[in-house]
Amino acid sequence: MLISFAVKGKAGLRFSSGEIALPAIYDATWRISPQLYGFRSGERYGILSNTGRQVQACALSSLYVGFREVTPATVLNWVSEHGIGNLPPLQWVLGRLCHADLLRAEEVTPQLWKSGQLRHVLSSGDIVHITPAQRCDTMPGGLYAAEATALRETVLVLTESTQLLSMTLQACVESAITVELPETLRGTPAPLSPAQEERWAFCRQLRALLTSKGIAPITYRPAPELVGDYLPYEVLRLPEDTVRRCRDHVEARLDAGTSQEEAKTWQLIFLAWLAANDYILYCAETGAFIVSELFVFDGSPFGNRTASELLDEYELWSLAPWLRDESRFL
């Protein structure tokens, strides 16, 4: 049995007798199985036997594409530190709420070994196969093209209990449903299925945690001025740096001290957001651009000028690259 040790922040492996099996020059060392140990340097890792023999040189890619399971407490920590507008994209994968991440070899290879073998696809397409007999065989990628493709398209889900779930990339795409937590925190519709109920239960649990800490989504977004009953709520979901960029653009084109300046600023940002996401439609009959009937734009502070006129006057089309929501097209 080998024991990990560290010297000046670097890791190595030694025997219980104290003899060095692997010098402390690596970023991480870990146990893969009773007979095999991993060692990583940067983005490459290798495998050592329990006798100190190098089974595989430090040449395998240490990064695996996968997902980490998150819990309400995990999200709460993110929100407390960065604000709810900076949450990473969350997805439901195989009934678990996860966020996409690159998993290191030390996190996944012990679980991958549970089948009694370890396969890894090299950039050349060849397959490295580590056997229980501590042999390292390299299979030509051309002869095992189907197996190499299956391995390359495997997606891993690492749960909170470090259980590892493995599936094909296609299965992941079919099972993953993006969850926009800031929106769901404002209100949860009636559940449509047991799976939907599980998702809303998570959001209710998260809401309770946030409320108990005095945190709410609105805390991390500027509050626009109400104009009658109109509130451009969609722009509340924008990241703070995007809002700042848009405000600078709009305020530079508004006369200082103009009436309803704050309301105009937010409505123009809202109008730019609509244009960026294809909610401004061209009307062939009038030759003008109009707002989609899905949204209500109040132009009264601008003397009821048309959306088309405002888009041109305030050069709002130029904000489209910053406001376009690409997730709508995934």
pLDDT, residue 234, reads 57
pTM of this structure: 0.56
Q: For residue range 288-319, what is the model confidence (pLDDT) as tens digits?
A: 778 877 666 777 788 878 888 888 889 988 88
Judged against a pLDDT cut of 70, whether residue 227 lies above it is answered with no
**Where do the domains of the chain lie?**
2-61, 72-101, 240-323
pLDDT of the residue at 322: 79
Nearest C-alpha neighbor of 58 from the set 43, 73, 71, 78: 43
Positions of E strands within the chain: 2-7, 10-15, 20-26, 28-31, 36-41, 44-49, 54-61, 63-69, 90-93, 96-104, 118-121, 127-130, 136-139, 154-158, 164-168, 177-179, 280-283, 288-291
Residue whose pair of structure tokens reads 């041109």 in the numeric block: 312
